[in-house]
Structure 1
Amino acid sequence: MTRQVRPSPGAAYDLGYHVVWCPKCRRPVLGGRVKARLEELIHARADEHGWQIVALEVMPDRVHLFVEPHPENSPSYVANQFKGFTSHHLRAECAHLRSQLPTLWSRSCFVAAVGAVSAGTVRRHIDTQDERAPRASVRA
């Protein structure tokens, strides 16, 4: 993957975030119709902000997103825009999500700026998520 420097007023940037978030209690509720609608909503929100989605993988218990936002948008702002927008719409459209979970998303998320590893490595990581065997969770 080649670097793509994007211009903005007063700056040029090549910025990408790898964002991962999960449903509350990591419940596997992101399948079928919910998955398809979630992908539509994520693309819609990115388009509203002018952000470019490089890779997206929606799994039953988590979402992996590689997005290139504007440099004035903080990592937490980017993650919260996707989580808040999708939660609002999915819970309004899917009654079973309201009855199964008090809130759709857990409060936490993972965000890494692409740079320590190449963008190609992050994209391959996201694209191969469904090929990886799930790890057993360790509980104390």
Structure 2
Amino acid sequence: MRSTRHSRYNINYHLVWIPKYREPMLVGDAAGHLSEIFRLIAEKKGIEILGMEIMPDYVHLFVSAPPQYSPSLLVNWFKGISARMYNYWYGRDAPIRWTNSYYVGTAGTVTSETIKKYIEEQRSR
């Protein structure tokens, strides 16, 4: 159980998104840099990263966030801030660009099969 000044909560989200055109570009140094950037964003915004998986063609975060943050706001922060920071620091040759779409699920209702299904659906777009 976590708490803020005015609330106690246990809210966990699975967040998944992919690079534009499903490019398998999140490997090596890019994955390491993004991992650092996601941790910086979480620290600054008061979000706890419970799990993180950066695959060549998708990002999966499992986070705990205070109740005042909507899931769409969390995704916008992680996608928007990470793209700007990565592209400013490292992306001169291969900038990171995310699709507009994402998957979000709450803990207890999401299985790995649901996440895999979402990722497979993105391949057909």
Is the TM-score greater than 0.5? yes
Cα deviation 1:72-123 (Å, max 9, x = unaligned): 000000011000111012222222224xxxx610011101111325xxxx6x
Structure 1 partner of 2:91: 94
AA in 2 matched with 1:105: W
Under a length normalisation based on structure 2, what TM-score does the superposition of the two structures give? 0.84
Q: How does 1:1-140 map to 2 (within 5 A)?
A: 5-92=1-88, 93-98=90-95, 104-116=97-109, 125=112, 139=124
**RMSD across aligned positions (CA):** 2.4
Max Rg structure = 1
- In the comparison of the two structures, how many residue pairs are matched? 119
* 8 A Cα contact 2:16 2:58, kept in partner: yes
Unaligned runs of 5+ residues in structure 1 are none
Task: Determine what percentage of the aligned residue pairs are the same residue.
Answer: 33
Cα deviation 1:17-50 (Å, max 9, x = unaligned): 1000100011001001100000000000000011
Under a length normalisation based on structure 1, what TM-score does the superposition of the two structures give? 0.76
